[in-house]
Amino acid sequence: MASPMKYNIKKELPALILIAFAIIISIIAYPNLNSQIVTHWNLAGEPNGWSSKNFFIIFFPSLLIFMYGLFIVLPLLDPKKASYGDFANTYINLKTLLIGALTTVYTINLLADLGYQINISQSISMIIGVMMIGIGLLMKNIKSNYFVGIRTPWTMSSTTVWEKTHKISVYFFSILGLSIIITPYLITPWNAIILTLGVLQMIAGTIIYSYLLYRREQNKK
């Protein structure tokens, strides 16, 4: 039976510690950063985006805090809020995974701007790729809701379609994750092609699979 999700401070600690860590390293790094810092790199690892250090130092921890707050609020707004209790641990793990990945990217960004020799392209691709694989592994436990998971017209119309689509999604997310991880090691234009194919197969795969499952279910009826 579905049950509402309850706030558990012990299970929330990892995410809260990650946010606190991001705030602390921001304070430590701030005096040693240049007024303009690199905030974005292209697929070849070349800088192609800059911002003021004041904006970046304030924006990123604020983004983490906003994300955390959003994850807390969404179950309260969802018409299917009762189902969150049935995948509460998965929901918390998903939140921690996302915040952890972004905090790691932020830390690497700061270290690079402080002058440490880091291969940004490979490092960030590895983090995002592993994050996508992790999301795929968590998907199979997510129950039907309006905010989290693969929400197509067909998964939202059938519990069976929802569950089967989320179980197989680990493969689509894993392929995307692997394509992101290997992208920095490929030459242009293959890096962009492989990344694009990875994204398209995940989007098209989940949409087509959920549609076919729904049609099969309707035909049986």
Domains of the chain: which residue ranges? Answer: 9-220
- Taking residues 112-122, report their average pLDDT: 89
Q: How far apart are CA 175 and CA 178, in angstroms?
A: 5
DSSP letter, residue 187: P
pTM for this entry: 0.91
**Measured over all CA atoms, what is the biggest interatomic distance in the chain, rounded to whole angstroms?**
67
Helices (DSSP H) in 46-189: which residue ranges? 53-77, 88-113, 120-139, 159-182
Average per-residue pLDDT for the chain = 92
CB 113 within 8 A of CB 41: no
Give residue 42's pLDDT band: very low, low, confident or very high (50, 70, 90). confident
Give residue 1's pLDDT band: very low, low, confident or very high (50, 70, 90). very low
Q: How far apart are CA 196 and CA 155, in angstroms?
A: 25
What CA–CA distances, in Å, run from 49 to 32, 37, 187, 195?
A: 20, 9, 21, 20
Helix, strand, coil fractions of the chain, as percent rounded to 5? 70, 5, 20
* Per-residue model confidence (pLDDT) at position 3: 58
